[in-house]
């Protein structure tokens, strides 16, 4: 069975305080997008990669592809106005209905081979897989008046990461149902599968290093992670 990676790179970078989308920020001499593509391009179980780009920066993405000559990038597509729309654009580009799809944030460049492999292995038994880590913080639920309502059991809580992975048929049906219901603002794909009760969602352990680069401080943290990993690999 083929395994396709969809890399969502259509963000604007506003929260990171940059003049360009954060996926083009430089870490360790490469753009964040380059680091992310490289992880999937080099993985032996990934059959192909589809990049969904901010429409204003498609030429920049194509320049990156020419520069690096990646073997597995199949398409670069203009993204939609929301993450949900961009995800569906990537999903719709895959015509092999009997395949797996791994949907990943471009700004999570520290995804590693073990997580990717574990996700694909889990898809042998499940139609939907989410990557997550335990919460190191206590999580409270509050009411509409900003008053503490309840203390949630931290042992049962997880912090969601990506990739989120699916049998293509399952996630495509979830998106089509959402379109029919005129739902457009979901911030992740697993929530759609959960909403329509289409499949059990298995949790694969993520990594504390698999951070999403969102704010200016995240760029500083990312450089520290790369330096640490570089020392560990020498």
pLDDT tens by residue, the chain, 234 residues: 999 999 999 876 655 556 789 999 999 999 999 999 999 999 999 999 999 999 999 999 999 999 999 999 999 999 999 999 999 999 999 999 999 999 999 999 999 999 999 999 999 999 999 999 998 888 888 999 999 999 888 889 999 999 999 999 999 999 999 999 998 878 899 999 999 999 999 999 999 999 999 988 999 999 999 998 888 887
CA–CA separation, 168 vs 95, rounded Å? 9
At 14 the pLDDT is 58
| Nearest partner of 140 among 131, 149, 132, judged by Cα | 149
At 5 the pLDDT is 98
Lookup result for tokens 């870490």: 27
Show the tokens assigned to 94.
Answer: 């895959």
CA–CA separation, 187 vs 118, rounded Å? 23
Regarding beta strands 30-31 and 48-53, do their DSSP bridges make them parallel or antiparallel, or are they unpaired? unpaired
At 171 the pLDDT is 98
At 27 the pLDDT is 93
> What does the DSSP assignment read for the chain?
--EEEEEEE----TTTT-SS-GGGSEETTEEHHHHHHHHHHT-TT--EEEEEE-GGGHHHHHHHHHHHT-SSEEEEEE--SSHHHHHHHHHHT---SSSEEEEEETT-TT--HHHHHHHHHHTTT-SEEEEEEE-SS--EEE-TTS-EEEE--GGG-EEEEEEEEEEHHHHHHHHHHHHHTT----S-SHHHHHHTT-S-EEEEE--TT-----SHHHHHHHHHHHHHHHHHT-
CATH class of 3-232: alpha beta
Q: For the chain, what are the domain ranges?
A: 3-232
Taking the whole predicted model, whether its pTM rises above 0.85 is answered as yes
């Amino acid at each position: 069975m083929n395994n396709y990676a969809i890399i969502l790179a259509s963000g604007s970078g506003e929260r990171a305080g940059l003049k360009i989308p954060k996926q083009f920020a430089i870490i360790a001499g490469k753009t964040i997008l380059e680091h992310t593509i490289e992880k999937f391009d080099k993985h032996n179980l990934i059959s192909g990669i589809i990049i969904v780009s901010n429409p204003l920066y498609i030429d920049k993405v194509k320049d990156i592809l020419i520069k690096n000559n990646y073997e597995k990038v199949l398409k670069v597509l203009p993204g939609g106005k929301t993450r949900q729309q961009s995800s569906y654009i990537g999903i719709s580009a895959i015509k092999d209905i009997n395949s797996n799809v791994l949907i990943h944030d471009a700004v999570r460049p520290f995804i590693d081979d073990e997580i990717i492999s574990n996700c694909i292995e889990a898809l042998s038994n499940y139609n939907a897989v989410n990557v997550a880590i335990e919460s190191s913080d206590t999580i409270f639920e509050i009411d509409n008046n900003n008053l503490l309502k309840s203390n949630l059991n931290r042992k049962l809580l997880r912090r969601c990461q990506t990739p989120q992975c699916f049998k293509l048929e399952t996630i495509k049906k979830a998106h089509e149902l959402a379109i029919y219901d005129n739902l457009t603002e979901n911030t992740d794909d697993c929530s759609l599968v959960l909403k329509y009760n289409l499949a059990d969602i298995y949790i694969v352990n993520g990594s504390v290093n698999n951070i999403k680069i969102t704010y200016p401080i995240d760029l500083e943290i990312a450089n520290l992670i790369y330096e640490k990993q570089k020392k560990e690999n020498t």
